[in-house]
Structure 1
């Protein structure tokens, strides 16, 4: 099922399936992003306002395994290509776009690996993309 997503190969699916865990344990896109360690973390100290970076919690293999498919999907998946163009128009940097695409790939993989069917898949695939983009 995962290989039906443009940009996800059999090798990537074999890496991600054990890394993603139980798809039914997630209630939304933000939880999936946090599980993958791709959620934003603010670097602030007192009055000093730092920049936001990814939290990097969770498995390094999961993040590395999502990066290359995310880059591939930016060129082959029409929905992800449109997301990339929207983020570029909003002035986002290349790494921010790549991270946002990684989050969306993780959400798609989690939704497609759900064995029970439509309920979680429908809610995640049709979620507002602002829920998974920072």
Structure 2
């Protein structure tokens, strides 16, 4: 259901982009109406699917507890908690490093010619989850004391803002894994 939800959200973005383009191209009213109808159908289906996912989580005490634990992390809301509950229930990771590796959040040396010593995220694994984690990391940098402190330290050491956000995504993933594994609410380690 989580993958279907992501597919529907992508379809909705495509249709919204088409609708915006129709305004510039002067397409027929039939085309405009067709796009509007598709947008309405997609929005309705997205809401219903989100409700189905949430009901499924609520029917299973372990999943419900994991979602509550995940939402105790500042920066993790409905979207990330829904994804992480699904991911951690379906895949059995031994440690947080495996989860980060699966999501493509590990640093990879990117050298070519005169460009040496540059690292980027490996970006292997599901990109749609990384995209959601990116937004969560941006919020966490502002509101989560642990991630805020890490971000300040990395930027102070000369890392770019994007490298610091990548590290925040990885740290957020590690925190998510930790609260679910230990079955305890998030408690900031920053002093």
Residue matched to 1:103: 170
The answer to whether the aligner puts 1:57 opposite 2:106 as a matched pair is no
Summarize the Cα distance change of 1:112–1:23 in structure 2 as closer, same or farther, 3 Å threshold.
farther
- Cα RMSD, aligned residues only: 2.9
The answer to whether the aligner puts 1:71 opposite 2:142 as a matched pair is no
Residue matched to 2:81: 13
Return the offset for 1:78. Answer: 1.1
Q: TM-score scaled to structure 2, two decimals?
A: 0.53
Per-residue deviation, residues 99-121 of structure 1 (Å, max 9, x unmatched): 0000000111111222x647xx9
- Count of residue pairs the alignment pairs up: 119
Structure 1: 5+ residue runs without aligned partners?
A: 127-134
Moved over 6 A (4+): 45-48
Q: TM-score scaled to structure 1, two decimals?
A: 0.73
Residue matched to 2:161: 94
Greater CA radius of gyration, 1 or 2?
2
Report the Cα distance in structure 1 between the residues aligned to 2:94 and 2:137, rounded to whole angstroms.
21
Report the Cα distance in structure 1 between the residues aligned to 2:91 and 2:177, rounded to whole angstroms.
6
Considering Cα pairs closer than 8 Å and 6+ residues apart, tell me whether 1 or 2 has the greater RCO.
Answer: 1
Per-residue deviation, residues 41-88 of structure 1 (Å, max 9, x unmatched): 223469984632211111112211211111101111111111111111
